[in-house]
Amino acid sequence: MIPKICNLDENENLMWLNTSLLEQVIVTSEEDDKVQVTLGKLTRATAAGDNYGSEMYRVIVQYKHRTECKTKSLIIKVLPRNNEMAKVLLKANMFTKEYSVLSSVTPTMYKLLQEASIPQLHPFTPLCFYFHRTPDAIIMEDLKENGYKMAKRMLGLDIKHCMLVIRKLARFHASSAVLHVTSRDMFKPFHESVYSDVSMSGQITKIVFAEKLHNLANNTVDLLIKFQESDENDFTVFKHGDLWLNNMMFKYSDESGEVQDVRFVDFQLCHLGSASIDVLYFLHTSLSKDLIGQQCDLIQEYHNTLKETLASLGYEQLAPSIQGLQQELERKRSYAVIVACTVLPIILADPNNIPDFEEMAKNDESINFSEEFKATIKLHLLEFERKGWL
């Protein structure tokens, strides 16, 4: 009798999945071919609104490894079905690029740091096991099985979580900056941003701006394209491109409950460019309200970790000065305003009223801002006003 995958018939987008393929994945995971899958059970892995550029599933695999019965959880990330977002993702080759990041680029970055004996080091991403074509799909490690959790997007991150993220980001950027010098060809597929080709700008420009942001709103698309391109004065790195709290998973100590590690997920918008873009995106999408006016400490910690990591890798000369970093952030200030005004409404949408991208693109009046967004954007606008960024 052929082992079955429970609930597969309820998910048309996964009809290509079978136990033979799962067996292949488990063999890769175990690094041993003495594996026999006996059962798979499929469920949705994320709630509505958590992922806009993919459908996420979890499959619990029961199998025999030699004489031992085991269970392993895997995550399947698959192209959305029959919508405008799917067309954008296909045309931009996003799933192929993400598979390359998870299976090759970030493991190479991590190995570079390992060889330099960087302390308290953990991988940047989940392990990746398999890539499927038509529909595009990636099978990867389920971080939840290893104790990782998502943060609560409506609350934002406290200072301990933010410091952990900013240090990891600095190491991510530092290792990529070195590889950009020593292994430049690795980043060839990531020179162009999605905004310069198949733009999601139609959705972005449908966002309603306050009167004071009117002039900026008219130039949103041009500015987005401009900011994704690297300037000769920028600190050029491999950017995550969508670094907000739902694209991170955190691990906590069993004893103290303190946050210990963070892994980055969702690399569909990654490419080469200014490091400041990732920093600004994170600072203006993911902080708890009480930290919005206190970003200087996070920027300083990012710079300290960046400089230390580059020094450990033997490339301290690549590090910008703190003044240079601040000037770069200042040059990209309009990007921070765009992110706060276009991305935050989606992040802080009412869980009971998740925005529909295609409806947003068709009808401005379909956008309803949550009370949480209104409270948060006021704090960001006050901070922008204080800095002279509006």
Is 41 in a helix, a strand, or coil? strand
**Separation between Cα atoms, residue 11 and residue 65, nearest integer Å:** 28
**Separation between Cα atoms, residue 380 and residue 293, nearest integer Å:** 8
Is residue 203 within 8 Å of residue 224, measured between CB atoms? no
Query: Confidence band (pLDDT; 50, 70, 90) for 47?
Result: low
Quote the tokens at residue 351. Answer: 């869980």
The helix-helix angle for 220-228 and 333-342 (nearest 10°) equals: 120
pLDDT digit string (tens) for 182-240?
999 999 888 776 665 544 444 434 433 344 445 555 566 677 777 777 778 899 999 99
Question: Does 10 score more than 90 pLDDT?
Answer: no
187: nearest Cα among 225, 140, 223, 236: 236
Residue 66, sorted as left (phi over 0), alpha (psi -120 to 50) or beta, turns out to be left
pLDDT digit string (tens) for 122-138?
999 999 999 998 889 99
The Cβ-side half-sphere exposure at 269, using a 13 Å CA radius, reads 20
Q: Mapped to the 3 state alphabet, what secondary structure does 214-257 carry?
A: HHHHHCHHHHHHHHHCCCCCCCEEEECCCCCHHHEEEEECCCCC
**Separation between Cα atoms, residue 61 and residue 40, nearest integer Å:** 4
What pLDDT is stored for residue 356 in this prediction? 59
Residue spans per domain, the chain:
5-78, 149-387
pLDDT digit string (tens) for 65-114?
888 999 999 999 998 876 666 777 777 788 999 999 999 999 999 999 99
Pairing state of beta strands 259-264 and 248-252? antiparallel
Kindly state the percentage of the chain with pLDDT values over 70. Answer: 84
Provide mean pLDDT across the span 22-47: 89
What pLDDT is stored for residue 89 in this prediction? 73
CA 233 to chain centre: 25
Q: How far is CA 220 from CA 206, 207, 339, 389, in A?
A: 10, 10, 10, 15
Question: Does 362 score more than 60 pLDDT?
Answer: no
Q: What are phi and psi of 310, to 5 degrees?
A: -65, -35
Is residue 285 within 8 Å of residue 145, measured between CB atoms? no
**Separation between Cα atoms, residue 390 and residue 378, nearest integer Å:** 13
Is residue 357 within 8 Å of residue 85, measured between CB atoms? yes
Bridge partners of 77?
A: 56, 138
Quote the tokens at residue 361. Answer: 């693109």
**Separation between Cα atoms, residue 179 and residue 190, nearest integer Å:** 13
**Separation between Cα atoms, residue 135 and residue 14, nearest integer Å:** 8
pLDDT digit string (tens) for 314-354?
999 999 999 999 999 999 998 999 899 888 888 888 877 66
Question: Does 60 score more than 50 pLDDT?
Answer: yes
pTM: 0.88
What is the tally of helices (H) and strands (E) in the chain?
15, 11
Is residue 301 within 8 Å of residue 290, measured between CB atoms? no
Question: Does 52 score more than 70 pLDDT?
Answer: no
Buried b vs exposed e over 82-109: b needs ≥16 C-beta within 10 Å?
A: eeebbebbbebbbbebbbbbbbebbbeb
CB atoms under 10 Å from CB of 63, counted, come to 23
pLDDT digit string (tens) for 260-318?
999 999 998 899 999 999 999 999 999 999 999 989 999 999 999 999 999 999 999 99
CATH 3.90.1200, applies to 149-387? yes
**Separation between Cα atoms, residue 29 and residue 154, nearest integer Å:** 35
Quote the tokens at residue 316. Answer: 């301290």
What pLDDT is stored for residue 132 in this prediction? 93
**Separation between Cα atoms, residue 276 and residue 283, nearest integer Å:** 10
**Separation between Cα atoms, residue 146 and residue 126, nearest integer Å:** 10
Q: What are phi and psi of 66, to 5 degrees?
A: 60, -110
- Sorted by sequence, the CB contacts under 8 Å of residue 254 that are 6+ apart come out as none
